[in-house]
Amino acid sequence: MAKQAKQEIKQIKVSGIEFIYTLFMALIIALFFGLGVAAFYPAPEEPKYPEALQATKFNDGNTTQERSEAEIQYESDMRSFQETREDYSRNVSMITLGLALLAMTVSLTLSSKIFVMSNGFLLGGVFTLVHSMVRGFMTSDTKYMFAIVSVGLLITLSLGYIKFVLPHIRVK
């Protein structure tokens, strides 16, 4: 007799409280990662708008020359800040991508033991991955944006296959 491959689809019912717990856990994980990165890798500070330019009247004691110099300096500071912020966003994107991978890997290791927590880590990893992509979009580098979306797609496809397809395929 030839052995035939047969697919079995295992359905697991989840109660309402388990669903809520999974969703809450996912949000807490994503917040933990996002706030953790912000706490230990602070964002660059935006330059303050010069007081010389805040006055609405030209006869406030500042000459046109002083105002012009203050405006030039402020614009230079803003360009520098925007470049620094793009680098910061790219770095945060890479860090949170790694954390998303960590959460999803934990999800795979727990999948056969603690189903609800496994799903919480998986969904938390997905939320963190979205955060990583959003940070990647805050750069002006379209190649980096494409790379981060490509990595996100590969992670999603790979982990989705491992988590949802492989456990349900049994060869008899």
H-assigned helices in 8-162: 16-40, 51-54, 64-110, 115-137, 142-160
Apex 100 CA angle, 85 and 86, nearest 5: 10
What ranges do the domains of the chain cover? 15-43+89-171
Per-residue pLDDT tens digits for 32-79: 999 999 999 999 999 988 887 776 555 555 567 888 888 899 999 999
What three-state secondary structure class fits 46? Answer: coil
Report yes or no on whether pTM surpasses 0.85: no
CA 64/CA 48 separation, integer angstroms: 20
| pLDDT (mean) for 83-99 | 96
Q: Note the Cα 2 to chain centre separation in Å.
A: 49
